[in-house]
A and B are shown apart, each in its own frame.
Chain A
Amino acid sequence: MLVEEVPKTSSSNSSTIYFTSSINLSARSVHRGGATGDEDSVGSNKKGRAKVNYNVNLLMNAQTQINDESNTGPLKSAQQVQLERLVSRRLVELNKESATASFEIPKNFAYNSIHSNSNKSRLGQTPTTKRILAARRNLNSYFEEERNLMSINTILGVNFQFIDFAEVEAAPKIKRAKVDKIYRPRLRLCCICGSQSHYSRCSNCGLYYCSVQCNNIHMESRCT
Chain B
Amino acid sequence: MSKQHLVIDNGAYNIKAGFNTGEDSDVRPTKVQNALTKTKDGAIHVGNQYQAQTNNYSGIVFRRAYDQGNLTSWETEKPVWDYTFDELSPKKIFDPSITHLTLIESPFQLPQLSTNTDQIVFEEYGFNEYYRCTPASLVPWVDFGNKSNNDFMLVIDSGFTATWIVPVIYKSVHWEGVRKLPVAGKVLNGLLRELISYRHYDITDEPILINTIKEETCFIAQDFYKALNSRQKLQCEFVLPDFKTTTTGYVRKPKDTISPDAQLLRLMDERFSVPEAYYHPEIITLVQNTPLKNLTDLVVESIMACPEVARPLLSANISLVGGSTSLPNFKSRLLSELTKELPSDWLVKVVEAKGVERDEVSWRGGINLTNDDVISDITISKKEYFEHGSNWCQKQFGFKNV
A contacts, CB < 8 Å to B: 83, 86-87, 90-100, 102-103, 105-106, 109-111, 113-115, 124-126, 128-129, 132-139, 142-143, 145-146, 148, 150-152, 154-155, 158-163, 165, 168, 180-181, 184, 186-189, 194-196, 205-208, 222
Contacts and interface: CB of A to CB of B under 8 A. Distances in A.
B204 A98 contact: yes
Contacts of B283: 187, 189
B285 interface: yes
Interface string B163-184: 0000000000000001111100
Given A94-B190, A162-B292, A186-B288, A194 B124 contact: no
A151 B285 CA distance: 27
Contacts of A92: 68
Given A94-B191, A97-B189, 14 more contacts: A90-B284, A99-B204, A100-B61, A102-B61, A113-B86, A126-B124, A129-B124, A132-B119, A133-B120, A136-B75, A154-B402, A160-B182, A187-B288, A194-B269
Given A129-B124, A146-B112, A98 B70 contact: no
Contacts of A128: 119, 123
A207 B286 contact: yes
B72 interface: yes
A95 B186 contact: yes
29 contacts: A90-B286, A91-B187, A94-B191, A94-B284, A97-B62, A98-B62, A98-B206, A102-B64, A103-B63, A111-B78, A113-B82, A133-B74, A134-B75, A139-B67, A142-B70, A145-B112, A148-B111, A151-B110, A155-B110, A158-B179, A163-B292, A163-B297, A184-B294, A187-B280, A187-B282, A189-B288, A194-B268, A194-B273, A222-B198
A113 B291 CA distance: 50
Contact of A195 (B204, B269, B290): B269
Contacts of A129: 119-120, 123-124
Interface in B82-141: 82-83, 85-86, 90, 92-94, 108, 110-113, 116, 119-120, 123-124, 126
Given A134-B75, A159-B180, A98 B61 contact: yes
A162 B110 CA distance: 23
B212 interface: no
A151 B282 CA distance: 28
Given A142-B113, A158-B180, A159-B182, A135 B280 contact: no
B304 interface: yes
A87 B292 contact: yes
Contact of A97 (B86, B111, B112, B186): B186
Contact of B288 (A103, A115, A188): A188
B123 A146 contact: no
Given A87-B292, A103-B63, A186-B282, A95 B287 contact: no
A143 B67 CA distance: 12
B76 A105 contact: yes
A151 B111 contact: yes
A160 B75 contact: no
A203 to B, nearest CB: 13
Nearest to B119: A128
Contacts of A143: 110
Contact of A86 (B78, B207, B270, B285): B285
Nearest to A162: B291
B195 interface: yes
Nearest to B400: A154
B207 A97 contact: yes
Contacts of B178: 158
A91 B293 CA distance: 15
Contacts of B36: 105
- Most chain B CB within 10 A, of A103, A111, A143, A145, is at A111
Contacts of A95: 68, 161, 186-187, 190
A126 B190 CA distance: 40
B180 A160 contact: yes
Contacts of A138: 67, 72
B46 interface: yes
A185 to B, nearest CB: 9
B73 interface: yes
Interface string B289-303: 111111001101000
Contact of A163 (B112, B179, B291): B291
Nearest to A143: B110
Nearest to B202: A99
B75 A103 contact: no
B401 interface: yes
Contact of B225 (A91, A139, A196, A222): A196
A159 B183 CA distance: 11
Which one of B75, B207, B231, B284 has the greatest number of beta carbons of chain A within 10 Å?
Answer: B75
Nearest to A112: B82
Contacts of A97: 61-62, 64, 186, 189, 207
A111 B116 contact: no
Contact of A162 (B85, B195, B225, B293): B293
Most chain B beta carbons < 10 A, residue from A126, A133, A150? A133
Given A109-B44, A158-B108, A142 B119 contact: no
B297 A132 contact: no
A187 B276 contact: yes
A164 to B, nearest CB: 8
A135 B191 CA distance: 32
B38 interface: yes
B79 interface: yes
A92 B44 CA distance: 25
B44 A106 contact: yes
